[in-house]
Structure 1
Amino acid sequence: MAVSSPVCDFGWTAPDLTLPATDGRLLSLADLRGKTATLVIFMCNHCPYVISALDRILRDARDLQALGVGVAAINANDAATYPADSFDNMVRLARQHDFAFPYLHDESQQVARAYGAACTPEFFGFDADLGLQYRGRLDGGGRQARPDLRRDLFEAMRQIAETGQGPQDQIPSMGCSIKWRAA
């Protein structure tokens, strides 16, 4: 089922995290932080929204890293119910697509809950002091890639990297709901 993310709560501070990455490292928020800004992406392996946007996500991540933006992705889906989202499959996906950023596993789902993540893909853009400045969409493509799309995420993160402020007008991200573990 498609879900939209909530609107940006400007200035909200990024919760700390320490999670295992697909490259074998254990990384904290301090390890992920960029010089100019930080982007945290909640995504997974099986979501059709993520699959259709993955090339655009990877392109924007590389372009943002060149601007001093730290980038990381987190998969918090329940792999017991969605085996495609297992850690082993995360490792395969990251290698297959040569991720230029850490892909982290939130098996306990505590980080996703602390961030209030709602869908995949979902983008949290923070300023240099880790205050939230963007919680919007990648672009207007959804599950359809078109060459004429405005790069909403890239433009917002570039603005944050240059000015410390995100755009006032933001369109929420839409994607599959986070697959929460049964209580």
Structure 2
Amino acid sequence: MSATALICDFGWPAADAILIGVDRRKHRILDNAGPRGLVVAFICNHCPYVKAVIGRVVRDARDLRQYGIGFVAINPNDASSHPDDSFANMVRFAQERQFDFPYLHDADQSVARAYNAVCTPDFFGFNASLSLQYRGRLDASRKEEGPSDLRRDLYQAMAQIANCGHGPDGQIGSIGCSIKWKERA
């Protein structure tokens, strides 16, 4: 089932937590911030929307470093209902796609709830003060990889944030698979 991310709540402070990464080490989310900002991306292994753009996600994470922007990805999905999103498969997914940023497991889904994440992929772009300035899509791709000349929405927004501290007024929400929430007791 597809879902669309909410509109940017400008100024919302980044939430922090310590999660296990695919390197089997604990990572504090905000420790991944660069001097000019941070992207927190909620992704997973099985979603066709994520699969269609993951190469571009890796590219943009790498390219944003030149602007002083850090990057971290988090998998919030319930692996008991979606085994493709298990920790072991996260490790494989990150290795196969050559992630050079932390890929963290939100096993209890508390981080996804703190961010009010809705779908995979769902991108949150923060400035140097870790104040939310972007909540939008990577680009116009959907379940299929789009053409190579698509406007790089996340990249361009984060470059602007790095330069002036503020995100663009016009933002288009990300669309993707709904987060696979655990049943609450």
- Which band: TM-score by shorter chain? over 0.9
CA distance in 2 between partners of 1:147 and 1:96 (Å) = 21
CA distance in 1 between partners of 2:41 and 2:5 (Å) = 12
| Alignment match, 1:61 | 61
How far 1:30 sits from its partner (Å)? 3.2
CA distance in 2 between partners of 1:51 and 1:29 (Å) = 23
* More divergent stretch after superposition (96-105 vs 29-38): 29-38
**Paired residues for 1:5-154 under 5 Å:** 5-144=5-144, 145-154=146-155
* CA RMSD of superposed structures (Å): 0.8
Structure 1 runs of 4+ off > 2 angstroms? none
How far 1:33 sits from its partner (Å)? 1.3
For structure 2, list consecutive stretches of 5 or more residues without a partner in the other structure: none
* More divergent stretch after superposition (63-72 vs 173-182): 63-72
Identity %: 55
| Alignment match, 1:180 | 181
How far 1:27 sits from its partner (Å)? 0.8
* Contact 2:137/2:173 (<8 A) preserved: yes
Q: Which amino acid aligns with 2:56?
A: R
CA distance in 2 between partners of 1:105 and 1:133 (Å) = 24
CA distance in 1 between partners of 2:169 and 2:131 (Å) = 14
Q: Which amino acid aligns with 1:90?
A: M
For structure 1, list consecutive stretches of 5 or more residues without a partner in the other structure: none
Q: Normalised by the size of structure 2, how large is the TM-score?
A: 0.97
How far 1:130 sits from its partner (Å)? 0.6
CA distance in 2 between partners of 1:143 and 1:150 (Å) = 17
* More divergent stretch after superposition (81-90 vs 21-30): 21-30
